[in-house]
Structure 1
Amino acid sequence: MIARLKMRPGKRTNDPDGLRKRVLDVAEASFQVRGYHASSLGDLMVAAGVTGGALHHHFPTKKALALAVIEERVSAAVEETWIAPVQAAGSAREGVRSVFEAVAAELEQQGFVRGCPLNNLAHELSLADADFRAALAGIFSAWRQAIADKVRADQQAGREQGT
């Protein structure tokens, strides 16, 4: 019987990367809509369709899961939707304006239900834990640095005097 259960070469019976991604997807959405404290691991397991053992293999604690969401998902979203547009814009003023217009359009499109993932988590978690505070502060710092770098470049190029 054991011989019949052998895996065929090159075939996997599971997908750990896909499972991890699925858990992150569910946690990211839940934290954004419901908040960290209102999102139970049990609810996240059910929504992701994973067992407790599978969840804890990738994320030993709820805090570890939240930090992964912050460091992998929220950070990437800020890079894509806030930092990159500022860096690519003709000026800091244009870049910041385009970011705010895009964020406002997205909030309106979703019916103002979900809010900003960075802001939501910062409000809920910054005072709760030093690790959360450091991870969130790093994202805000990268955003501020991108604007400062663009303003400096604008001033050096004579594009935006007095900004």
Structure 2
Amino acid sequence: MPRVRDPKRTRRKILEASYREFYRHGFQGGSINRIVDAAGITKGALFHHFSGKNELGYAVLDELMIPAIKNWWVEPLEKGADPLGTLRDILERFIKRVEGEVPETGFLFNGSPICNFAVEMSPLEEGFRKRLSEIYKIWSGCIGDALKRGQEKSIVRPDIEPTAEASFLVAIMEGSASVGKVEQDIEFLRSCIATARNHLDSLSASRTL
């Protein structure tokens, strides 16, 4: 019986294999040969879906990393009634995920995939820089919007600047990822997350009473 073609499934397999390859080896060090082997496809199939390596990298950012940010940050913050509580929950969920990962393939060993792309490719290629800038805008934007809603509900201190606080929190996460990649020590990440949670506590409107 002939194999039924499923272009969407094939594209997804390519993207997931590419994500793992770029995460482990960097974009420039990533191997098309390893990607096609991991995806169980031919090079012809890969280049049917993507014109080249840059387009493949763009798609990893657009189709995998942006949805991941929306799943981890945007959607919980849009649904949550208390932005500070939701942010604490996200941080707790993050550290539990890292604790459960296989070190060599996870965050503790490889760092933040977004930060890795940003450090490596933003200075070299404008298409990557623009996409990464958009990812950071989505990420910090959803936090800033949630903090503004918290101010309107008298949950968040009225004297803080939500946009600046949001950028600061993203910087904490990405900075922790970069140094954590060097330290490869879960206690270091736990300490960073605990400090971030303490900072969130300081944003509570109850601190101004």
Provide the TM-score with structure 1 as the length reference.
Answer: 0.85
Equivalent runs, 1:144-163 vs 2, <5 Å: 144-161=140-157, 162-163=159-160
Q: Which residue of 2 aligns with 1:138?
A: 134
Which consecutive residues of structure 2, in runs of 5 or more, have no partner in the other structure?
161-209
Contact 1:125 1:133 in 2 (8 A): yes
Question: CA shift at 1:108, angstroms?
Answer: 2.3
Pick from 59, 73, 92: which aligns with 2:64?
A: 73
Deviation of residue 85 (structure 1)? 1.9
Question: Structure 2 residue aligned with 1:106, among 78, 87, 97?
Answer: 97
Q: Distance in 1 between matches of 2:74 and 2:85?
A: 13
CA–CA distance in 1 between the matches of 2:110 and 2:79?
Answer: 27
2:30: which partner in 1? 39
Whole-angstrom CA distance in 1 between matches of 2:14 and 2:70: 22
The residue number in structure 2 matching 1:115 is 111
The one-letter code of the counterpart of 1:63 is N
SS of residue in 1 equivalent to 2:109: coil
**TM-score for the superposition, normalised by structure 2:** 0.67
For residue 26 of structure 2, give the secondary structure of its aligned residue in structure 1.
coil
Paired with 1:122 and 1:101, the residues of 2 have a C-alpha distance of 25
Deviation for aligned residue 1:113: 2.5
Aligned sequence identity (%): 29
Structure index of larger Rg = 1
Partner of 1:64: 55
Which one has a larger percent helix, Structure 1 or Structure 2? 2
1:87 aligned to 2:78?
Answer: yes
Taking a change above 3 Å as real, the CA distance of residues 12 and 49 of structure 1, as seen in their structure-2 partners, is: closer
Residue of structure 2 equivalent to 1:126: 122
Letter in 2 for 1:154: G
Deviation, 1:97, is 2.1
- Are 1:96 and 2:87 an aligned pair? yes
What is the RMSD computed on CA atoms of the aligned residues? 1.9
Unaligned segments of structure 1, at least 5 residues: 1-6
Alpha-carbon contact 1:22-1:48 (below 8 Å) kept: yes
Decide whether the 8 Å contact of 1:33 with 1:113 is kept in 2: no
Give the total of aligned pairs.
154
Q: Matches of residues 7-22 of structure 1 in structure 2 within 5 Å?
A: 13-22=4-13
Give the Å deviation of 1:12.
6.2
Which residue does 1:25 correspond to in 2? 16
Whole-angstrom CA distance in 2 between matches of 1:101 and 1:81: 12
